[in-house]
Amino acid sequence: MTVPQGPKWLYLHGFASGPESTKGVRLAAHYARQGIHLERLNLRQPSLEHLSFGAMVSTVREALGGERDRAILFGSSMGGLTACHVAQEDARVCALVLLAPALRIARQMRRTVGEPGLRRWRETGWLEIQDYAEKRQTRVHAGLLDELDALEARSDGVPDVRVPTLLIHGRQDTTTEISYSREWAQGRRHVRLVEVDDGHELVASLERIASEVDDFLRPFLASPAAR
């Protein structure tokens, strides 16, 4: 008799981050102790310098596996937005855990970079940023901004997600505004919003996050097939 396989657990890091991010590593260790493999994907696709949202989505969809496979997606910041768009398009996603997701990302990026920074980005073709994964200065091409603008124009920056979703956001987040998470969660009975007293990185809230996720994903944790 074939034993049914539980869903894959995939972690999607944020912009200018990587698979070795603190949250990803800590959550992977937490679930490894419970016999569950949380796979940390590399979304720097095709590279950070030439980052493409479409390539990020394609990378996640390929990691989902075959037609009968299922997955739980953990997404941080831009990885959270990516997880939402994959879930919107692909029925293999059965649940989401979103950590400070970058909803309405084009607006958020404009606020963060500022109008002078946006003009330089357009004029030179590049935006200078800090690469948190490799701890160095680098740059990102202007094509990413065009892609995010087009994405927001199609959906107003608000993905249509129908799967059970746990959304955790810090009240002191100055990178991705919590107001967008509040607005998105309102009226969606399948979305549970948890607010914590923390900033964008949510590092001070990792124990709380693990506890909330354990409760949210208890049906999967209780199933031997999930291991």
pLDDT in tens, the chain (227 residues): 344 478 999 999 999 999 999 999 999 999 999 999 999 999 999 999 999 999 999 999 999 999 999 999 999 999 999 999 999 999 999 999 999 999 999 999 989 999 899 999 999 999 999 999 999 999 999 999 999 999 888 876 688 999 999 999 999 999 999 999 999 999 899 999 999 999 999 999 999 999 999 999 998 876 544 54
Distances (CA, A) of 186 to 106, 167, 192: 21, 12, 9
Residue 140 belongs to a domain: no
Residue 111 belongs to a domain: no
- Give the chain's domain count: 1
Residue 3 belongs to a domain: no
Q: What span, in angstroms and rounded, lies between the C-alpha atoms of 6 and 226?
A: 4
Residue 22 belongs to a domain: yes
Domain span at 219 = 8-103+159-226
Strands (E), 111-178: 126-131, 136-141, 165-170
Q: pTM score, two decimals?
A: 0.94
Strands (E), 100-178: 126-131, 136-141, 165-170
Q: Is the Cα dihedral 9, 90, 217, 172 positive or negative?
A: positive
Residue 153 belongs to a domain: no
Residue 119 belongs to a domain: no
SS3 of 1, please?
A: coil
Q: State how far Cα 139 lies from the chain centre.
A: 21
Residue 44 belongs to a domain: yes
Q: What is the CATH number of the domain that holds 48?
A: 3.40.50.1820
The DSSP string of 5-73 is P--EEEEE--TT--TT-HHHHHHHHHHHTTT--EEE-----S-STT--HHHHHHHHHHHT-STT--EEE
Counting every residue, how long is the chain?
Answer: 227
Residue 108 belongs to a domain: no
